[in-house]
Amino acid sequence: MAYIKDFNAIGKGDAAIAGGKGASLGEMTQAGIPVPPGFVVLATAFEKFLDETDLNTEIDTILHAVKTDEMRSVEHASERIQKLILEAKMPKDIASAIEKDFATLDAKWVAVRSSATAEDSDSAAWAGQLDTYLNTTKKSLLKNVQRCWASLFTSRAIFYRFEHFQRHTNILENVGVSAVGHEEKISVAVVVQKMIQSEVSGIAFTVHPVTEDRNQLIIEAGWGLGEAIVSGQITPDSYVVEKDPRRIIDTTVASQERGIFRSSSVIPGVTRDPESKEEASANEWREIAENKREKQKLSEMQILELAELIIKIEKHYGFPCDIEWAFVGGKFYITQSRPITTLAPQPPVSEKEKKEFEKTPIHFVKTLERDQTLFVQGLWAQGLDIDLEKRFGMKNPYRPMILTYATKDNLQVWENMKSVQWMLDAFLKKNQKNTDFIDKVIEEYNDLTKELQAFWSRGAITDKKEIQQYANLVRKASLNISTCYYVGMDERTPKKIQDLVVEVRKEDIFYSRNNEFVRECVAAQDGRLRDFSPFILSWELGNFPSEDILKARAKGAILIAGKEFFTENIQEFSRKYPEYVFDNLNATIGENESIVGQTTFPGIVAGRVRIVKNLKRLPAVKSGDILVAPMTTPDYMPAMQRAAAFVTDEGGVTCHAAIVSREMKKPCVVGTKFATQVLKDGDMVEVDADKGVVRIL
């Protein structure tokens, strides 16, 4: 009986013996995808191990006694079963076969990964439930294979199996025999793969996991081994790539202070973490050199190269994929690919619709799939002239495909497109109004600033009439400047506004005097200005950041007292530009204030905060609580089932908490950086994952 197969002898149809992970790696190897070489210890080896050690009956008895609604019962069963497996002796013929194939890899270090036979199907995501051992040597190889077998019975795996596949009637169902009422087979194979000591690694989704836009893929990247990203222990860089036309449409660079590396490895720009307690481990956390912490992990060329590889994998499989990758020595490697299990099913498209979509000009297909706002933005992004060449003349690089056809169907499509004329008219009218309004604002602003300067230059304002005048001016100026801010300060902003901002920033007098006194006076005179915080007043009146700072702020939102300010990754912004940050968000957060992160599954829910910084705190999470943690791991699954929403300090849209939130369809906000520091156990909060915001109630 064969117990081992090399990757080049395995295909996607072998999941029943090689597990989902093993079958996928074999399939990609045969398809010419750059996969590090390796082999799979088949599920038949595990089955023989159970037979020869007579563990079937004992494990079956233990599982039958499990009460899945009592975590201690699950943990006790897990401890007993794993102890039985780890203490049993591996059959000699299996051990010999493993060691023989290991020698053919000519590798000092390998990755040993569990591969469940029910793993990575389109109905279940076993990813992360079983164990992985990176940088395994020949000395620890057999023991780690046995540990992977035992990981089929960790408490998290038992809970997950019971939760998704119901209770098994006997252990045979776990090793290939159908459970009563359920046809899914669950066993475990083990992947042994040459270890890649990655300089950069990460995860990619061939469909944006949050927006579910199938024309976009997302790549997350971090220094060192990918385990730091998968586990959610760091917040990675994020790159969104449009597939057609192929281009990078969004780049978010995250600061990274530490990463996971092989203990004995020496990576340029990386120093040993003085607080690391993993000296004897195969892997350890290391500090990233300061000159690399703020750097983008992949260049634009590398992002597009990786995107090409990712799209190739998706086309090969014919379905959206969740891919793990590594980069070293100028080359990308794929270490795993599995189906994305959390996407909503696509409605079927008729042949007639396909025909019309193929002939529709200026990418209306993309824009009409979404809402009207994105329809308008799509036209703007295409760079169409303001009058659209008298509607549909369209002198534009996006040449209307209709010009290449002359059929009756195409003429009908053209007429159908004219039916949205009212939208175009509204868009043009609004744009013209905006242009006129901005010119008017500039003129009024110049007058207002001159008058305000006169007030500020006089020092303290004591006359009641002057205070009233000042209140009126501030109200007008603040609102108008705010409007200018929201229409943008990027390359599209008229140069005269940019010049005006530069001049205003030079006037220290605008934000250096009487801030508190003026705020109190204004609030007393005009209640409508009460909501404007000191930060808003001083910032709006003169402390305009430069263009690059505004760009950094233009991607997300932090809500303070109901006012929106755009900034993604506020924590990185805070470190880089402390002069533009109000209060100390890392220390306190007040009433009506909010924490901001990245949405991984939308929804709005209110509940009581439960801070979980270690596994001992998991039982404290009750039904309907908001689970707040530095990160989550598969061990958190029972608590996540009970929680109404998840909030984490670290992680991106591909981390454990993100994947589970989409599978469970629960609101989730990740990468807040300091939620566990500023929220307190028992706080009532609203998790608004539609906006990526957590508000204290």
Mean pLDDT over the full length of the chain: 71
Residue 591 in tokens:
């009433």
User: How far, in Å, CA of 216 to CA of 207, rounded?
Assistant: 6
The pLDDT tens digits for 436-470 are: 666 666 676 666 666 656 555 544 444 555 555 55
Q: 123 falls in which pLDDT band (50, 70, 90)? A: very low
User: How far, in Å, CA of 285 to CA of 275, rounded?
Assistant: 9
The mean pLDDT of 240-260, rounded to a whole number, is 92
Output the pLDDT for position 65.
86
Bridge-based pairing of strands 626-629 and 604-611 is parallel
Cα–Cα distances (Å) from 649 to 3, 234, 560, 630, 679, in that order, read: 43, 9, 19, 5, 11
User: How far, in Å, CA of 331 to CA of 402, rounded?
Assistant: 42
Output the pLDDT for position 603.
92
The mean pLDDT of 513-539, rounded to a whole number, is 43
Output the pLDDT for position 644.
96
**Whether 217 and 130 share a structural domain:** no
pLDDT beyond 90 at 306: yes
The mean pLDDT of 410-426, rounded to a whole number, is 54
Return all residues near 431 (Cβ < 8 A) that are at least 6 apart. Answer: 386
8 A C-beta contact, residue 258 and residue 288 = yes
**Whether 402 and 531 share a structural domain:** yes
How many residues are present in the chain? 697
**Phi, psi dihedrals of residue 530, rounded to the nearest 5°:** -60, -35
604 vs 527, more confident: 604
Output the pLDDT for position 266.
47
Output the pLDDT for position 158.
82
The pLDDT tens digits for 382-407 are: 333 333 344 444 444 333 333 333 34
Query: Is 401 domain-assigned?
Result: yes
User: How far, in Å, CA of 684 to CA of 504, rounded?
Assistant: 41
Query: Is 272 domain-assigned?
Result: no
Angle, alpha carbons 339-345-350 (nearest 5°) = 120
Q: What is the DSSP string of 258-289?
A: EEEEETT---TTEEE-TT---TTSSEEEEEEP
What strand order describes the sheet that includes 4-6?
4-6, 38-41, 188-194, 110-116, 132-136
Output the pLDDT for position 232.
81
The tally of CA atoms less than 13 A away on the side-chain side of residue 308 is: 8
8 A C-beta contact, residue 196 and residue 326 = yes
**Which CATH number characterizes residue 667's domain?**
3.50.30.10
Output the pLDDT for position 616.
86
| DSSP 8-state assignment for residue 450 | H
**Whether 186 and 259 share a structural domain:** no
Sign of the Cα pseudo-torsion (459, 460, 466, 471, in order):
positive
Q: 275 falls in which pLDDT band (50, 70, 90)? A: very low
Return all residues near 491 (Cβ < 8 A) that are at least 6 apart. Answer: none
The pLDDT tens digits for 475-487 are: 444 444 333 333 3
User: How far, in Å, CA of 554 to CA of 490, rounded?
Assistant: 9
Output the pLDDT for position 421.
59
Q: 667 falls in which pLDDT band (50, 70, 90)? A: very high
Percent pLDDT > 70 in the chain is: 57
**Whether 601 and 632 share a structural domain:** yes
Output the pLDDT for position 468.
57
Output the pLDDT for position 27.
96
Residue 169 in tokens:
């009637």
Return all residues near 65 (Cβ < 8 A) that are at least 6 apart. Answer: 73, 77
Output the pLDDT for position 659.
86
The pLDDT tens digits for 96-120 are: 999 999 999 999 999 999 998 865 4
Angle between helices 71-87 and 56-64 (to 10 degrees): 170
**Whether 211 and 125 share a structural domain:** no
* Least confident span in 66-80, 228-242, 257-271: 257-271
**Whether 570 and 685 share a structural domain:** no
Q: 624 falls in which pLDDT band (50, 70, 90)? A: very high
Query: Is 349 domain-assigned?
Result: no
Domain hosting residue 254, numbered range: 200-264+282-339
**Whether 665 and 517 share a structural domain:** no
Bridge-based pairing of strands 331-339 and 604-611 is unpaired
**Whether 50 and 116 share a structural domain:** yes
**Whether 153 and 210 share a structural domain:** no
Local structure of 250: helix, strand or coil: strand
The mean pLDDT of 669-688, rounded to a whole number, is 91
Output the pLDDT for position 403.
35
**Whether 621 and 570 share a structural domain:** no
The pLDDT tens digits for 234-245 are: 889 999 999 988
Q: Rounded to 10 degrees, what is the CA torsion of 92, 94, 95, 100? A: 120
Output the pLDDT for position 523.
52
**Phi, psi dihedrals of residue 75, rounded to the nearest 5°:** -65, -40
Look at residues 594, 677, 588 and name the one whose alpha carbon lies nearest to residue 628: 677
Query: Is 442 domain-assigned?
Result: yes
Q: 323 falls in which pLDDT band (50, 70, 90)? A: very high
Query: Is 654 domain-assigned?
Result: yes
* Least confident span in 163-177, 332-346, 502-516, 527-541: 527-541
159 vs 540, more confident: 159
**Whether 235 and 93 share a structural domain:** no
Q: 188 falls in which pLDDT band (50, 70, 90)? A: very high
The pLDDT tens digits for 533-580 are: 333 333 333 333 444 444 444 433 333 333 334 444 444 444 544 444
Output the pLDDT for position 57.
86
Query: Is 271 domain-assigned?
Result: no
Query: Is 275 domain-assigned?
Result: no
Total count of domains within the chain: 4
Output the pLDDT for position 122.
47
pLDDT beyond 80 at 299: yes
pLDDT beyond 80 at 41: yes
**Whether 511 and 532 share a structural domain:** yes
**Which CATH number characterizes residue 189's domain?**
3.30.1490.20
Output the pLDDT for position 638.
85
Query: Is 417 domain-assigned?
Result: yes
413 vs 44, more confident: 44
Residue 226 in tokens:
């990918």
